[in-house]
Amino acid sequence: MVNQKEIRLSGSGGQGLILGGIILAEAAILDGNNAIQSQSYGPEARGGASKAEVIISNEAIDYPKVDKADLLLALTEVAYKKYIKTLKEDGILIVDSSVNIEDKNPSYKVMQIPILDTAFEKMGKGMVANIVALGVIREVTNVVSAESLEKAVLNRVPRGTEELNKKALMEGYLLASNRD
Amino acid sequence: MKNRKVKLMQGNEACVEGALAAGMKFYAGYPITPSTEIAEICSQKLPLVGGKFIQMEDEIAGMAATIGGSLAGLKSMTATSGPGFSLKQENIGYAALAEVPCVIVDVQRAGPSTGLPTAPSQGDIMQAKWGTHGDHPVIALSPTSVKETFDLTVKCFNLSEKYRTPVMLMLDEIVGHMREKIEIPEADEIEIYDRKKPTQDEVDTYKAYRVNEGEIVPAMASFGEGFHFHVTGLMHDEFGFPSNDADTADKLLRRIMNKISDNVDDIVMFEEEFMEDAEMVVLAYGGTYRSARSAVKKARAMGLKVGLFKAITIWPFREKRVIEIAKDQKKILVPELNLGQYVLEVERIVAGKTEVHSLGKVNGEAITPDEILAKIREVL
Amino acid sequence: MSSQLIKNNFRMDRLPHIWCPGCGHGIIMRSMAQAIQNLGLDKQKVCIVSGIGCSSRAPGYMDFNTLHTTHGRALAFATGVKLANPELKVIVVTGDGDCSAIGGNHLIHTARRNIDITTIVFNNNIYGMTGGQYSPTTPTNDFGTTAPFGNIDKAFDICKLVDGAGATYVARGTAYHVNQLTKIIEKAISNIGFSLVDAISICPTYYGRKNKKGTAVQMMNYLKDSAVDTKVAEKLPPEKLENKFFIGEFKNTTEPEYTEEYMKIIKKYQKER
């Protein structure tokens, strides 16, 4: 049975979403699955809405681009407005609490979560917002194992920030589970 | 059980890893999107293995220095993208005529001109064949995945060393920039071919462009090894010296063309799937192949009898097999990120024996599986 | 009868050369061979690289590792050869059009890197191979087949150009002042870094005829009468320097050399085998 999940991470340039995508894909590979990560390049990648895409599957992945996503992460209003059209009707939208949701009665599931607030205010390090978001995504979708995700995070973050990032992951897990 | 390293890797990075595995020791190039990662990674990794990297003043110089590095005895590579590929063409022709092995990577982006620098394309496929002036031998491969990028880069070096000719790796932005799982083979699993050199007892009798009995190409000495030979872009005799003699020119050009055309079976790689009962075949290459495979699988699920042909070696073309497909009355669809380039070659080979259809796209986005599926349904 | 110099350094079966009667290029080529012989270089470790044009035929006649490349690109090919094998003494033979027009970008950047390449410019102020078009060193108001009403371009001083770009040895000689030219080429080759010798040649066939400069002998006499050694020039009043050009050594310094610097990187970062 093919089990393929297509995820789009969006926000603004500098929020570390591409690194987030790489970590998520690497975690999937550590789990023994296949994964593809791609991103936007050039002017689009510098400011404005930025995105990274990840496809995770237990089978070979043919078409490497995400068309309609199973899950959309939107950390900014600009990104939400730009990419909400690309979310599947029965998909999941994980959106930062700061974003104003226009659609009052959507077919997709909406989860408003204070990701940026947690990173900036609670942890005092805005740069870990991407890792907090990965924690949320893992907890909501179970698309990668917690063990592999932590390993992938530690593989890719700068030396000396390991503990901070592990804590960011935990905050993400808590944010997601507190909602249920 | 081999202890292969499993990694998440970008296509451009896998290209460098493949080149290093093949024995690349020299890289000269110029920064251009979307190939720049190849230069960046070479600059970091080559000195670690005693190799050399140089960022030249322009694309032309990048190609020239690559040829110089190879003549001095190092396996050499350069990488570029559309506009740079255009600029390199004259010296690619030089390498073809002077029979200097080297690898040219073109990470294709949407053109013409500056075009869409960060968007994928397959618009340089005909340029790979006809880009430089005059008739000349061409070998070009096009990978469809990160793993295949590694494998085909190794193959490019092997073919260039074996046939003493520039070999092109036609990447595209889709494959070059995506990250995907790759199992890196162990060093002893990778087949490496090194150019044949003359022996030291041939120092006095060496003719730089004489093909010895039973060989495909002349043995190649490096500058500085005691053979002090001449290399030129003019038509030349067996010594390598310029000649205006009609027979000498004719013999030389036919020899360098024939060394490829006589060895098509060794050079050409392709793969087929779902062919047996197919009434129609989707013939695809590079990043677009992945959309095609997805579309063919969807079509099969719908009960449509569609086969899939993956062209791995783009040039030379696999004429024999495609003629067979045409004789079987299977229709052929060629989806590609241009307005119909490779399809021209298919039409030429098929010569009216079956229907040939084209699906082109040039807006800077990949062809989607659904677009190919729609075309399949229209054709069948 | 050929001299020992010719026998030892040239491909006898490739001679005679294709240059026109009266051309200065043969003298400069011989001067190069003399300099290489005087220095006692190992012929197997000398690589002579050229571009396209009259000058660029020289390597074909010379019995070394020789590479005849594409128009303007000799220095870029040579950079690849030198970096790949720094043991080689790399000498580039080029013309005024080859190195300062189509190859101008390579010229300034090769100088900037101070890579150990010696460039000998066979400067005849004209495109000879294509039949006499004006080049970047054709003087203003002179004629060429593409300047039928007189050249309105200003000419490059190739020595000043590469001096500004970072060459560490810069000199000019002429096909008339042969002994001095040989000495200059010796010093250029001995310099570890980018060296350039602007070797003024004569082209009686095209430049001379178009500009009514007379016979080859008259053109040689012009070189004799118009060249002033840069050391002498310093002591002469300005009126004595009118319509003269300077020869001799303009720059002789030492800067870090490119391939040596690169080898330092390899030495520092190469992994243990």
What pLDDT digit, counting tens, does each position of A161-174 carry?
Answer: 999 999 999 999 99
- A49-108 pLDDT tens trace: 789 999 999 999 999 999 899 999 999 999 999 999 999 999 999 999 999 998 888 999
| pLDDT at res. B3 | 62
**pLDDT value at residue C271:** 77
C–A contact: 3+ Cβ pairs < 8 A: no
Say whether pLDDT at A45 is over 90.
Answer: no
pLDDT of residue C45: 98
Task: Look up residue A22 and give its two tokens.
Answer: 């790489």
CA angle, residues B85, B91, B95, in degrees to nearest 5:
115
CB contact under 8 A, B228 and C44: yes
User: Which residue of chain B is at minimal alpha-carbon distance from C66?
Assistant: B230
Return the bridge partners of A52, or none: A9, A39
Burial code (b: 16+ CB inside 10 Å, e: under 16) for A90-114 equals: ebbbbbbeebeeeeeeeebeeeebe
Going by C-alpha positions, the residue among A156, A19, C9, A40 that lies closest to residue B173 is: A40
Q: Which of B67, B224, B241 sits opposite C80 (nearest CB)?
A: B67
Tens of pLDDT, residues B21-62: 999 999 999 999 999 999 999 999 999 999 999 999 999 999
3-state DSSP assignment of residue A148: helix
Per-residue confidence (pLDDT) for residue A43, from 0 to 100 = 56
> Which chains neighbour C (Cβ–Cβ under 8 Å, 3 or more pairs)?
B
Mean pLDDT of the C64-90 span: 98
Say yes or no for a CB contact (<8 Å) between A64 and B180.
yes
Instruction: Give the span between the Cα atoms of C218 and B72, in whole angstroms.
Output: 44
Taking an 8 Å cut-off on Cβ atoms, the answer to whether B179 and A44 are in contact is: no
Q: What is d(CA B306, CA B285) in angstroms, rounded to the nearest whole number?
A: 16
- B68:C77 CB<8 A: yes
For the CA atoms of C52, B230, C67, C53, the dihedral, rounded to the nearest 10 degrees, stands at: -10
A180 min Cα distance to partner chain B (Å): 33
C-beta atoms of A39 and B177 within 8 A: yes
User: Is the Cβ pair B368, A36 closer than 8 Å?
Assistant: no
d(CA B108, CA B121): 5
Q: For domain B269-379, give the CATH number.
A: 3.40.50.920
Question: Does C4-269 carry CATH code 1.10.3720.10?
Answer: no
**Lookup: tokens for A61:** 């992945």
Q: pLDDT tier at A178 (50, 70, 90 boundaries)? A: confident
Task: Give the pLDDT confidence of B310-361 residue by residue, as tens digits.
Answer: 999 999 999 999 999 999 999 999 999 999 999 999 999 999 999 999 999 9
Q: Where are the domains of chain A?
A: 4-179
Mean pLDDT of C138-158: 97
Classify residue B169 by its DSSP letter.
Answer: E
pLDDT tens profile B54-113: 999 999 999 999 999 999 999 999 999 999 999 999 999 999 999 999 999 999 999 999
All partners of chain A with 3 or more CB pairs under 8 angstroms: B
Contact C75, C106 (CB under 8 A): yes
CATH superfamily of B5-189: Thiamin diphosphate (ThDP)-binding fold, Pyr/PP domains (3.40.50.970)
pLDDT of residue C272: 58
C66 at interface of B, judged by CB pairs closer than 8 A: yes
Q: May I ask the CATH class of domain A4-179? A: alpha beta
In this predicted structure, the answer to whether residue C249 has a pLDDT above a threshold of 80 is yes
What is the Cα gyration radius of chain C? 18
d(CA C79, CA C194): 11
- Percentage of chain C with pLDDT > 90? 98
Q: Which class for C1: exposed (0-12), middle (13-18), buried (19 or more C-beta within 10 A)?
A: exposed
Q: What span, in angstroms and rounded, lies between the C-alpha atoms of C235 and B311?
A: 74
- Residues of chain A with a CB closer than 8 angstroms to some CB in chain B: 22, 25-26, 29, 34-42, 44, 61-65, 67
% of chain B at pLDDT higher than 70: 99
**Which partners does chain B have (≥3 C-beta pairs < 8 Å)?**
A, C
Long-range contacts of C211-217 (CB under 8 A, 24+ apart): C211/C142, C211/C143, C215/C22, C216/C21, C216/C22, C216/C23
Which of B7, B117, B366 comes nearest A42 by C-beta? B117
Give the pLDDT confidence of B279-312 residue by residue, as tens digits.
999 999 999 999 999 999 999 999 999 999 999 9
User: pLDDT confidence of B1, banded at 50, 70, 90?
Assistant: very low
